[in-house]
Structure 1
């Protein structure tokens, strides 16, 4: 969505100031200029076919608000205010808005622009404000934007809604059209790109009218607030401080509403400072050693003594079915950690919105200033969490423990001496939210979790800042979208929406595990069953390594006759339908516990293979005892029996028969007889001194051959068949129960599914919101937010820390 409905009062104010013959630059105008300039958005024309498919669709409805945007010009002027009627705003809010405006001395010169676009006192040069163009291709309605992220595009579209249209961007200039229709061409002196250490970006431009060097900066609120200037006049210093305080209150409110916040600032750089800085900048760019560090130092050197223009709050709207997906993953026994660059308030709000956090959960908020404080809080919190978890009163409670930790505290918690304690605490938490983390911290967390907790990790991301995390995890999943394709290119699996993760894990993950586990066990079984036929024969040939089966037929047995059906079994078998797996996420736990590939199942299959080889050898041996048949006449029935036994054994294991299974099974049997008959008919001495000539032809004319094949195969498979029957009848597993429900019609299956989950629950305590949870007994020196309202103070290592609880859905930090 690219349509923004501007606030009528604010739009009138901007239009009145902009059209004034003698006016001073208004702070609101500077804010929207910052929105239009301080970004890396590329301008394109809507008439270009490629640009129309760039991902930003125009809505035909003028009442649609900008997707994911709520911004504030000077602290109070947010799009949340903009989209609300000005008449409904409290008087106090409007007063604060006016107090938030800062008049800057360096921009107090009158600005006069005539109808032709000429500016009084402005020399003729490339920076002169050009006259309004009537070219339809450059009209604001025909301009579209391509941005690295939807957030940047949203801010530029918001500036456009108030008349500040970004018309063109080149490496050396930025053209902005004012509400009056005049164009200003700003010379771009330098662009300080965003990085995760500074958490901000800046654009240094030369103003076309005043010729001053102006630095526009935007970034995370906590990174910007630390850089605000204090060297201004005394009367402005107090006003700036008040504006910063009021803005911080609004930023906190936006964070609790789940909005992603940014601050915008401006700084006028003197000519002397710019020239001195430019020399350092060029030296840093030309450096060979430590180039990145030097470049970042020059950026930090310039980004000081900033003047606050305003703040924005962008709604990071959840995709559809995200809460259902998160709940399903939790029911499947998957621990979900959120590693985000958002502030804690925003992350917690999103956690509640996507049902990662529940109202009754105990939320531990850890935010430390130094390592000593972090150590004390970790020790005390870990002790209390263990005591809470071991309390019998909390065994059946529906309250889970969630941990919220910021990036600075996380850095200290991941240090070598605190890693074990932090991981021990994380093990007791159902959910962990790491906020304000950098890409390197994301990958570090994944590596530490893999190393310390000895678990399988899966990382999901959609942007370039998630690449390190995706590559560090055992399995990486990239979500394709407006954030780019970097995450997809670095991942093992790619999905288009987050909701597809549910099917990827619960359905395809379960199928993949059961297929591979059963196929591996089957391959071991198949080879043991076949090779042991030769082992039993060695007792009758003095262990001379002689065989009763022709060498070529032995080679073809694994290579052709019994190779394709197991592969199809490992690719296409479905033990349970997708609907059942999605409806009962707890079935995924079977794979987590290696329920299919266990010590017992493996050795039972091996013993079964020994038994089948024993039956497959000695029944034909007893049948042909005291006869005058030759060695290959004795071995051919054994080879045929082994083929039928191995394939029928696989038939018992297949849960979902398809046409492919039937074709491969029958094709393997047909291929065996065709190849063996042809080989026996044509090869007289292909492998001297053996002579398999006409052996199978003679056998197929003997009724004894058919009788042996039937009786021996039945006797060999009878224990396996009876084992399955008894196990599924006496002690059916959850998988077997799910298969039985699968055979019912849809309505009956849904009813039985609900009843089965509520009664059995796969050993998990089923939670009910009908009965209130017991009162929390956890005391910890971190901020805690359970359901019932309590408050207390705890002393720990000379640290006075508050335990804060709210009966409000979203915790309020104090």
Structure 2
């Protein structure tokens, strides 16, 4: 960054600050090399301590140089096309032949909880890359302080300044900005991607803001995995906007990162509950809701499909139009929404204690092709049971209206009981919503058949007055849900996944806690009785 200053004595001076690698390349060739070497030693000492370093330089501008630069700058800044390139060329022309004024080393302490947050993210199976504009030594020191790099980890450092030297290095863990200049947007990108994705940690130092975005784009173009970028400064905006999910930290470096992000947090450590808790809950809820909505609609569709074989493939349906509309809008809609909002498979504290439980989301265990096929097979089975069991009980004596009433009552109960079987944590809102909506659905079915204008006038009332209806309904529910119950029992007790195992741990811990609390209360009451 540069600033042109007009001094009281009418002299014009250009002050420039930047990274040492950039500043040393634009120094006046006649400048004292001893000062340059001493500055390099100080910078190395500062960066080894983890300080963020900058070099400050200056040059005098003559009146003619300043006027020429000002005229060119005004033209470039008002250009309608290629403005950034023109401004960059103008800056590079004047930022030359500098003299070193000094170097700075600034301590930028890690926020509270950063090492623990990064450790939790890595335990959860996420790969953590650090992209920073600091020197390599500073970046490595930061890597150690935040527990990203450990003493038993081999470090392979790339620090090349030409395309040919980049080709000769097979792997990379720590790479700097000048090296990326020769790699990004060239045929070497594929090699960098293959090397980087085999590393546990990638640390890029001395990278420009656009290079940070280029690294994120490198991953996005070559994989379907989601990328997340987090930063707290204006130089992180490009990276945040390039990632699938951008998170800005509201800190001391302004609000540019927050304004450009999808989510804003106060400190880096808040990323852990954001991902491991809320990310886990939302993935579990959304994955299940997608599968469940396919299921609850396909059951009705298959029912009508089976009926076409008995109606000569006509468009007639035994389910009334009103019930068909209300099925998706009222009978089964609200429980889906409430479960998607309130259901939690694991508690907040458990998810923070076991970061590995974020793994199901990385492995697509809650929404994948296998689950979709299984739920479709389940819906086919349930539709077959619902469609043909009434024929076995009533031996062809049912009219279309009575058959439609049996079907809609059975399907509403089926899909809501199915949903209840999959709920992890019950509360009064879920109970009231699920069974309240089911009761409303039954009332709506009775009200529809109570209308004299409907073809099935009073059909449901006549059915419910017989024991055969209730026996048929019970048989449908048991037979339709039996395969799902068997599969869930087998998965829970014979082949449980990580979430099911930890849920059992939660239950055991809760029983022990309740038992200890009950024993404490009992002993307290025993002590009080003799005193009374």
TM-score normalised according to structure 1 size: 0.60
* Candidates 321, 341, 351, aligned match of 2:113: 321
> Any conservation in 1 of the 2:19–2:206 contact (CA below 8 Å)?
no
Match for 1:300 among 77, 84, 92? Answer: 92
Cα separation, 1, equivalents of 2:311 and 2:80? 77
Task: Please name the residue that 1:508 is paired with.
Answer: 278
Per-residue deviation, 1:320? 0.9
User: 1:645 and 1:464, CA in 2 relative to 1: closer, same or farther beyond 3 A?
Assistant: same
Quote the Cα distance in structure 2 between the aligned partners of 1:323 and 1:475: 22
Provide closer, same or farther for how the CA distance between residues 423 and 684 of structure 1 changes in structure 2, counting only shifts above 3 A.
same
Are the aligned partners of 1:538 and 1:544 in contact in 2 as well (CA < 8 Å)?
yes
* Alpha-carbon distance between aligned partners in 2 of 1:355 and 1:619, rounded to the nearest angstrom: 63
Equivalent position of 2:437 in the other structure: 668
1:697 matched to 2:461? The reply is yes
- Residue of structure 2 equivalent to 1:422: 192
2:385 to 605, 610, 615: 615
Shift of residue 521, structure 1, vs aligned partner: 1.4
CA separation in 1, counterparts of 2:499 and 2:141?
37
CA distance in structure 1 between the aligned counterparts of 2:6 and 2:510, rounded to whole angstroms: 65
1:201 aligns with 2:6: no
SS of the residue corresponding to residue 202 of structure 1 reads strand
Counterpart in 1 of 2:527? none
3-state SS of 1:476 partner: strand
Q: Equivalent residues in 2 for 1:385-404 (5 A)?
A: 403-404=173-174
2:58 to 250, 261, 266: 266
Compared CA separation, residues 211 and 488, structure 1 to 2 (3 A) = closer
Q: Does 1:364 align with 2:156?
A: yes
Trace 1:162-561 onto structure 2 (pairs within 5 A): 200-206=1-7, 208=8, 210-231=9-30, 240-285=32-77, 287=79, 290-377=82-169, 381-382=170-171, 403-561=173-331
Q: Could you report, residue by residue, the CA deviation over 1:200-233 in whole angstroms, capped at 9, with x for unpaired residues?
A: 3223221x3x4433333322222222333344xx
The answer to whether the Cα contact below 8 Å between 2:318 and 2:400 also exists between their aligned partners in 1 is: yes
Quote the offset at 1:289 in angstroms. Answer: 5.1
Cα distance, 1:285–1:524 mapped onto 2, change above 3 Å:
closer
Counterpart of 2:523 in structure 1 is none
CA-atom RMSD in angstroms: 2.2
Secondary structure of the residue that 2:182 maps to in structure 1? helix
- Which residue pairs with 1:685 in the alignment? 453
Rounded Cα–Cα distance in structure 1 between residues aligned with 2:283 and 2:299:
24
Change (3 A) 1:726 1:454: closer
Q: CA deviation at 1:748?
A: 6.9
Instruction: Give the distance between the partners of 1:350 and 1:450, measured in 2 at CA.
Output: 26
Stretches of structure 2 that go unaligned for 5 or more consecutive residues are 514-532
- When the two structures are aligned, how many residues end up with a matched partner? 513
Question: Do the aligned partners of residues 295 and 640 (structure 1) sit closer, same or farther apart at CA in structure 2, a change above 3 Å counting?
Answer: closer
Question: Structure 1 stretches of 5 or more lacking a match?
Answer: 1-199, 232-236, 383-401, 750-814
Deviations 1:160-194 (A, max 9, x none): xxxxxxxxxxxxxxxxxxxxxxxxxxxxxxxxxxx
Quote the offset at 1:252 in angstroms.
0.8
- Cα distance in 2 for residues equivalent to 1:285 and 1:646: 64
Report SS of the residue matched to 2:175: strand
Distance 1:250 1:544 in 2: 88
> Which stretches of structure 1, 4 residues or more, deviate above 6 A after TM superposition?
746-749
* SS state at 1:444 partner: helix
Equivalent of 1:733 in 488, 497, 508 = 497
Distance in 1 of aligned mates of 2:511 and 2:12: 71
Residues 1:277 and 1:616: Cα distance change in structure 2 (over 3 Å): closer
